[in-house]
Structures are given as C-alpha cells and as structure tokens.
Chain A
Amino acid sequence: MRIAELATALVLMGLSVWFMVLATALPIGWVPEAGPGGGAFPFWLSAGMFVCAALILWRETRVAPRFKRVAIFIHPAASGQMAVAAGGLVAMVALLPLVGAYIAIPAFMIGYLKVIGKTGWVTPILLSVGTVLFMFFFFEVSLKILLPKGWTEPWFYPLYAMFF
C-alpha cells in the first residue's frame, strides 16, 4: 500500500509539471489591457498541485514502513475478477471502432459472464440480445445517435432504410 501511495504522489507530481509546461504556451502573468494571461490559471493551479503532491510524498517518506498500517492494494480474492473486468473493458472499447458496438458489447457481456459469472449460456445470451435491442431502439431509432459499427456497417443499411 505504501508503494502505491508513493507511486501515486510521484505520478501526480509528474502530471503537475507536465500541466505547468503545457500552460506556459499562453502567458502566465499579467497582460496589459487584458488581465491575467490565458495560461495563468492552469499554471498556478498546477503549481499548487505540485506543492500538494510533494507534501504528500514528503509525509509518506517520513513514516517508516513498519509503522504503516499493513494493507494490500488489491485483495487476492478480487484480483482475478478485477483483471477480467478491466481487461474486458479495454478490449471492448478497442474493438468498438473495428467490429462495431453490436459485436464488441455482446462479446464482452458473454465473455465476462462466462468467465466471471460462470453462468450457462441462457443468461449471457438473453442479456446480450436485450442490450443490443435497447441500444438500437433507444439510441439509434429514438435519439438518432448512431453507434460505431466498424465493418458491420453494411449490415445495418436495411435497418436504416426501415427506421429512418
């Protein structure tokens, strides 16, 4: 847990430095006739972030590891489920523009429920079909928001002709 605390503080310090550098693209001081420059607000906020992160890091390094509460970052009993949830989510999002929402999302649901839920086929299939129907009729037909289809786009031409 202590390593996670230290690493998080370091990452936040790094982020704040990056923000400061990017903010300097615009003036960070007083601009005559125009007031504070466009980079001033983000720059000084990021500087504040840097100070806070440095304080957190300093506080953490002052406490010897043996005095820290013994805690683990992710409980081993949950790590498998978390890895599948996180990995599945990333895979689903990566697949969205390629194979489209109507393949990526059911694939995620079926895969996730089979691996983690250890269910039979009925629940994942029913849930996937229900989700696909909801997505199509709610987002595409009612709200006119087209979800990504990837190479499955031509499959939808007859449906577009029917509903739009």
Chain B
Amino acid sequence: MDMLSYLADGFAVSLSPLNLAVVLVGVTAGLFIGAMPGLGSVNGVAILLPMTFIVPPESAIIFLAAVYYGAMYGGAISSILLGIPGASTAVATTFDGRPMAQKGEAGLALIAAAVASFVGGTISVVLFTILAAPLAEFALAFGPPEEFALVLLAFTTFVGLGGDDVVKTMMMILFGLALSTVGLDMISGNPRLVFFDLPGFYSGISFLILAIGVYGVGEVLWTIEETRGSPKVMNARIGFRDLVDGVKKLGRTVRTMTMGSVLGFFVGVLPAAGATPAALMAYGLARSGSKNPENFGKGEVEGVVAPEAANNAASTGSLLPMLTLGIPGSPTTALLLGGMVMWGLTPGPMLFIEQPGFVWGLISSLYTANVFAVIVNIALIPLFVWALRMPFPVLTAVVLTLCVVGGYAPNARMHDVWMIVLFGFGAFVLRKTNYPMAPLVLALVLGPLMEQSLRQSLISSQGDMTTFFTRPISGTLMAISVILFALPIIKRLRSAGALKPAQ
C-alpha cells in the first residue's frame, strides 16, 4: 500500500502544469528525434541535455525521460517509412515494417508500432513500479566493496553478453575508465592526465562532451556514410477509420505484445543488453511461436509489434538499475544518470529516502509520458511523413549546430567544443573499425564511482583484495562477474571443440 501512496504523491508532482508541459514537449521532441534516420534516444538526450537548464532539476530529468520515451516510439517511424532504423533499437522493426510499407500498409504498420509501444511501455512501467522500491531497499546494504562489484558486473555484462568483439569491448571499457580519471585526483587533489597541460583538462572530461561528440557529431558522420546522404521515404496516410481498423487487426497480436513487453523489461534491466537485443529476441520468439513463421520478413504485423513492445519495455527496464542502484543499463540511462549528478541528484537507494517526491514523480511521469507518446505519435503521423521528406542536409546542419552550441553552453569554454569535434571524429573511426561505443560512454560515467569504491575498499581492508570476495553480496556479484567474463572464452572453446571433428 505504501507503494500506491508514494505513487499517488508522485502523480501530484508529475501532473503539475509545468511537468505535464515538460512531458508533452519531451515526448514530441523525442518522437521527432527518434523518427530522424540515424538519431535515437541517446542522441536526443545528449543533444537536448544542455537545453534543460531552463527548468528546475526535477522537471529537467522528467523532460529527458520523456525524450527517451518519445524517441523509443519514434524509432519505428523511420524504420517503416524509410527502411532505415531511427536507432539500432528499431532495427528489428524494419524486418517487417518496411515490407508492410512497400505493400501499401504503412499506416497499419505505424499504428501497430504505436499501440505495441504503448502496451510495452505500460506493462513495463507497472513492473518498474512494483520492483523499484524493494530493489532500492536491498541496495541500502551496499558498501564500497558491493558498489565496486556492481560496477564491475555492469562492465562484465558488456563483455559476456554485449555480443561485440570481446577485446574491443574491453578496450573501450578501459579507455572510458582512463578518460574518467582525467583531472584532479579525488583523494590527494593533485592533477593527473592533464594533456599538454591545457587548463580545460583540470576539471576532467564531462560525460556530456563525450556523449555529444559520439552521439551527435560521430552519428552525423556515420549516417552520411551509411545512407550516402539520400534516404527514400514511403508515404502513409491515416484517417480515423484506418485507426479503428488497425486497432481491430491488432487484437490477435495481444499475446505477442505481452510476451515482447515482459521479455523486453527484464532484458532491459541487464546492463549491456538493453533495447536492441530485447527487440531482436522478441522478434525471434514471435517468429518461432507463430503459426505462420514463413510470413515474417514479408510484412507480418506480429513482426512489428513484438520488437516495438520489447524495445519500449526495455527502455523502462534500463531505468530500474539506474534509479535504484545508480548503475545505468544503457548509454541513454548513463546520460540521464550524468544529468542527475550534474543537478545534485545522486541516483541510488538513498535517493528513494532523501528525495521520494522526485523519484515517484519521475516514475509517475513515465505513465503520463506513455499516454502522451501514443496520442502524439498517432496524431502527428502526417507531420512525421512531412518531416522525413526534409532534405537530409538540413537535418545534418541543424544537428551539428546544436552539438556546437549545446557543448559550449554548460561551461562557456571553447575547449569543450574542440573536444566534441575530436570525440566525434574519433568515434566515427572507432565505429567504422567495429569498436563498440556504449561501453566507452558508460565507463566514463561509472569511472569515478568505480575508482572511489575501489580505493575506499582497499583503504579500509589495508590493501586486502579478498574483501571483495568474502562479503556475501559483493562475493556473489564478483562470482557472477567472473562467470560473465569467462563466458566468451567458454563459447570460443566450445565452438573450437565443435569444429574439430569436421576438420
């Protein structure tokens, strides 16, 4: 019952006129950003974060969460109409969404994506509400060794489950952690890793600067290269009758949507897994459980609803460890975490005790964001079709300008703007050579917590490393980390063993 009263208090915060307006603007901006080819929730949050200084911290985070939500809805729009996923999270939506559009069913595909996103969002927010408080209460028992073990676990999930090249993933984690140490040493206060003795490095490398570089400039260059700068748009018109017909046709997909939502939520909770694998897994499950698996890939509506329900549910799921444990489950939640820290709100179990109004306000805002997103999404489909016809160079010029101005605004330093350019170019080269970017951003955000917890643990144990293994919670987390770290090696050995008889 406590939970319901907290949630009711939360609604009192999220339904205030300012926060309602913030959610509406956030989901609409998110929908547009998500609908743009190559741009997704992480790009939206990175580019718009500096714009949120105009509202109080609580409203700023609610706004960014709404952008996140809206972008998850919007990703399907470009997947269906352009055949280019708005972000990697909407890749699975192109498999059947694009063939549906080519068959003249773009309207139905868009309605299916919006309704499935709504169902995924709703189920996952309910799961989030139920699980958030108990998880935060459990996390109150965490000391520095547990915090270190938890951060290590987040990184080993990238190695074990991330699906990218293991050595390159480790490289990016270490690179991000090393970048997080730039500036003043947190204990002695002495400067370290101050490149060329430039004063700009004394205050460290902001996660925001790296994120704008990687997900703003880097993404623009990447999209130009991938699309050769000329995406093609399919048409879609939706009237009220199409909407009613569409919703009726979706009746038979309720089971698929529910399965995608629950699966998506729990996959989203895992760091490194997130919305993209959740959507792909839900698509695979929907196909294997379908009576007509041969229709998948040719314009099957279930092939649209499964990944869309899953990717929205996963986005909510990834907020759970961020808010309750202070460990982000995805690059977007890493940015949200960074934003919260910037505004003096430290995510983790203590936030539930110290700032219950904010926490439950944010949770309840997810409900309102979900409702607004589905309404705005369906109502503005003609506008999205028009916006996608916008010449691609216009979008490129606007995003690059926002990156420069948004990067300059927080500290008014040209140093930051040059760093954005450098990170953007570097990210393009690294992505082209298959280095994953998400671990880099996550490591930069989690680096200070990792170093602080490591040093505190070692100081209190007089340098005894077994402290991480002898305490029950940290020991369990360390054991899981070891298993996850060994997973790729085991997989490799098993596949080598399987190959031997054939050779």
Closest chain-A Cβ to B264's Cβ sits at a distance in Å of 32
List, in ascending order, chain A residues with CB within 8 A of B228's CB: 75, 77-78, 81
CA distance A114 to B472 in the complex (A): 64
List, in ascending order, chain A residues with CB within 8 A of B458's CB: 35-36
User: Which residues of B388-425 have CB atoms within 8 Å of chain A's CB atoms?
Assistant: 391, 393-394, 396-398, 400-401, 404-405, 408-409, 412, 414, 417-418, 421, 424-425
- Picked from A46, A93, A123, A148, the residue with its CB within 8 Å of the CB of B178 is A46
- Picked from B192, B394, B409, the residue with its CB within 8 Å of the CB of A26 is B192
Q: Are B187 and A34 in contact (CB under 8 A)?
A: yes
The residue of chain B having its C-beta at the shortest distance from the C-beta of A82 within the complex is B224
Q: Are A117 and B394 in contact (CB under 8 A)?
A: yes
B243 CB-CB contact with A under 8 Å: no
CA distance A123 to B229 in the complex (A): 18
Q: Are A53 and B171 in contact (CB under 8 A)?
A: yes
Interface of B is mostly: helix
CB contact under 8 A between A86 and B425, given known A23-B192, A127-B394: yes
Binding site for B on A (CB under 8 A): 1, 4-5, 8, 12, 15-16, 19, 22-23, 25-26, 30, 34-36, 38-39, 41-42, 45-46, 48-49, 52-53, 55-56, 59, 73-75, 77-78, 81-82, 85-86, 88-90, 92-93, 96-97, 101, 105, 108-109, 112-113, 116-117, 119, 123, 127, 131, 135, 138-139, 142-143, 145-148
- Picked from A41, A101, A113, A142, the residue with its CB within 8 Å of the CB of B54 is A142
Q: Are A56 and B171 in contact (CB under 8 A)?
A: yes
Closest chain-B Cβ to A129's Cβ sits at a distance in Å of 13
Q: List 21 A-B contacts (CB under 8 A).
A: A4-B433, A23-B181, A23-B192, A25-B191, A26-B190, A34-B459, A38-B185, A42-B181, A45-B181, A75-B228, A78-B226, A78-B229, A82-B221, A105-B401, A112-B393, A112-B397, A112-B400, A113-B394, A138-B51, A143-B409, A147-B405
Q: Are B455 and A131 in contact (CB under 8 A)?
A: no
Interface centre among B167, B393, B408, B429 (most CB of A within 10 A): B393
CA distance A46 to B173 in the complex (A): 11
CA distance A15 to B178 in the complex (A): 11
Closest chain-A Cβ to B43's Cβ sits at a distance in Å of 16
- Picked from A5, A56, A116, the residue with its CB within 8 Å of the CB of B229 is A116
The residue of chain B having its C-beta at the shortest distance from the C-beta of A79 within the complex is B225
B194 CB-CB contact with A under 8 Å: yes
List, in ascending order, chain B residues with CB within 8 A of A117's CB: 391, 393-394, 397
B237 CB-CB contact with A under 8 Å: no
Q: How large is the interface on B (under 10, 10 to 19, 20 to 34, 35 or more residues)?
A: 35 or more
B226-252 interface mask toward A, CB cutoff 8 Å, 1 = contact, 0 = none? Answer: 101100000000000000000000000
Given contacts A4-B433, A46-B174, A147-B408, 9 further A-B contacts (CB under 8 A): A8-B429, A26-B192, A52-B167, A52-B168, A59-B167, A85-B220, A89-B404, A112-B396, A139-B409
Q: Are A89 and B429 in contact (CB under 8 A)?
A: no
Number of A-B contacts defined by CB within 8 Å: 176
CA distance A73 to B421 in the complex (A): 20
B9 CB-CB contact with A under 8 Å: no
CB contact under 8 A between A146 and B412, given known A8-B433, A12-B171: yes
Closest chain-B Cβ to A95's Cβ sits at a distance in Å of 11
The residue of chain B having its C-beta at the shortest distance from the C-beta of A46 within the complex is B178
The residue of chain B having its C-beta at the shortest distance from the C-beta of A12 within the complex is B171
- Picked from B53, B194, B430, the residue with its CB within 8 Å of the CB of A22 is B194
The residue of chain B having its C-beta at the shortest distance from the C-beta of A146 within the complex is B412
List, in ascending order, chain B residues with CB within 8 A of A145's CB: 53, 409, 412
B193 CB-CB contact with A under 8 Å: yes
CA distance A22 to B193 in the complex (A): 5
User: Which residues of B168-192 have CB atoms within 8 Å of chain A's CB atoms?
Assistant: 168, 170-171, 174-175, 177-178, 181, 185, 187-188, 190-192
CB contact under 8 A between A30 and B463, given known A39-B192, A123-B394: yes
- Picked from B167, B170, B393, B408, the residue with its CB within 8 Å of the CB of A113 is B393
Closest chain-A Cβ to B26's Cβ sits at a distance in Å of 16
List, in ascending order, chain A residues with CB within 8 A of B471's CB: none
CB contact under 8 A between A89 and B398, given known A4-B429, A135-B405: no
CA distance A74 to B190 in the complex (A): 42
Q: Are A41 and B181 in contact (CB under 8 A)?
A: yes
Q: Are A12 and B175 in contact (CB under 8 A)?
A: yes
CA distance A23 to B192 in the complex (A): 6
The residue of chain A having its C-beta at the shortest distance from the C-beta of B172 within the complex is A52
- Picked from B224, B391, B455, the residue with its CB within 8 Å of the CB of A85 is B224
